[in-house]
Amino acid sequence: MIAKQTKNWLEKIVIKHDFCPFAQRELLRDSIRYSINEASNTEDTLHHLVDEFIFLDRHPETETTLFIIPEGFNDFDDFLDLVEIANALLEEQHYSGIYQLANFHPDYCFHGSDEDDPANYTNRSPYPILHLIREKSLERAVASHSDPESIPERNIAYARELGVHKLKSELYAIKQNRE
> How many angstroms separate the Cα of 62 from the Cα of each of 33, 41, 126, 137?
7, 26, 22, 11
pLDDT digits (tens, 9 = 90+) for 76-125: 999 999 999 999 999 999 999 999 999 999 999 999 999 999 999 999 99
pLDDT digits (tens, 9 = 90+) for 49-77: 999 999 999 999 999 999 999 999 999 99
Q: List the Cα angle 75/101/45 in 5-degree steps.
A: 55
The strands making up 32-36's β-sheet, listed across from edge to edge, are 32-36, 64-68, 129-134, 99-104
Contact residues for 173 (Cβ-Cβ < 8 A; gap 6+): 179
Q: Is the confidence at residue 165, as pLDDT, over 90?
A: yes
| Angstrom distance (rounded) from CA 50 to CA 56 | 10
> How many angstroms separate the Cα of 76 from the Cα of each of 72, 104, 162, 163?
11, 10, 24, 22
Q: Is the confidence at residue 170, as pLDDT, over 90?
A: yes
Query: What pLDDT does residue 140 have?
Result: 85
Structural domain boundaries enclosing 66: 1-176
Q: Is the confidence at residue 178, as pLDDT, over 60?
A: no
Q: Are 37 and 67 in contact (CB under 8 A)?
A: yes
Q: List the Cα angle 148/17/36 in 5-degree steps.
A: 90
Query: What pLDDT does residue 43 have?
Result: 98
Query: What pLDDT does residue 14 have?
Result: 97
With pLDDT > 90 as the criterion, what percentage of the chain qualifies? 89
Domain count, the chain: 1
pLDDT digits (tens, 9 = 90+) for 122-143: 999 999 999 999 999 888 887 8
With pLDDT > 70 as the criterion, what percentage of the chain qualifies? 99
Q: Are 66 and 35 in contact (CB under 8 A)?
A: yes
Write down the pTM of the prediction: 0.94
Q: Are 48 and 37 in contact (CB under 8 A)?
A: yes
Crossing angle for the helix pair 76-92 and 42-58, to the nearest 10 degrees:
50
Contact residues for 78 (Cβ-Cβ < 8 A; gap 6+): 72
Banded pLDDT at 179 (limits 50, 70, 90):
low
